[in-house]
Amino acid sequence: MSGNIGANPTAYNYVDINGRVLKTRKPPQNDSRIKGMMLFGSPLCHPSVMFNKRLIGMDLYYDNDFKHCEDYELWTRLYGKFKFGNLPDVLLDYRIHDKSVSRENNELQIANKVKAINRNLLRPRRSIRQDNITISTILDQKDRSHLFFQMAYLIRKKLK
């Protein structure tokens, strides 16, 4: 891992309950693209993440106020402190099933995701609601250096 990268996840496979590969996911490897996608969800697969403890230091903890999306809150909190990377190698099989935490607690995850965005990514006195991630939200970020990638992501998503 490069000396200035604080968190480095890998590519991964989605597998079914029988271990059959359903899809391979290769997230972006570029820091700007990773951070650009972060406003819309987690571009990092937490179980595959390797951390640079020297860079992260005391910031490597889960905030219990963000139940079922502690990892996403961690990524947003670390957003401006160092670079993110992604290894292109598949080093994880991520099992998908109907009883996953994400599927059973989706509403709470979304509410806590919005709370993490408001606290860690937006400028003071700005906030979004759960049903309103808009262009103005993108413009209200503390760090707007990733605007290009965010706009490209939204356009690509709209064209699909």
Q: What is the pLDDT along the chain (160 residues), one digit of tens a residue?
A: 566 899 999 999 999 999 999 999 988 888 888 888 888 788 889 999 999 988 888 888 999 999 999 999 999 999 888 899 989 999 999 998 887 777 777 888 888 888 898 888 876 666 656 555 555 556 566 666 666 667 777 766 666 6
Residue with tokens 């005391």: 58
DSSP, collapsed to helix, strand or coil, labels residue 77 as helix
Distance CA 160, CA 156 (A): 6
Give the CA radius of gyration of the chain: 16
Question: Whats the size of the chain, residue-wise?
Answer: 160
CA dihedral 71, 95, 102, 28 (to 10 degrees): 50
Q: Which amino acid is at 107?
A: E
Q: Which amino acid is at 15?
A: V
| β-strand pairing of 83-84 with 10-15 | unpaired
DSSP alpha helix (H) spans, 12-81? 31-38, 53-56, 70-78
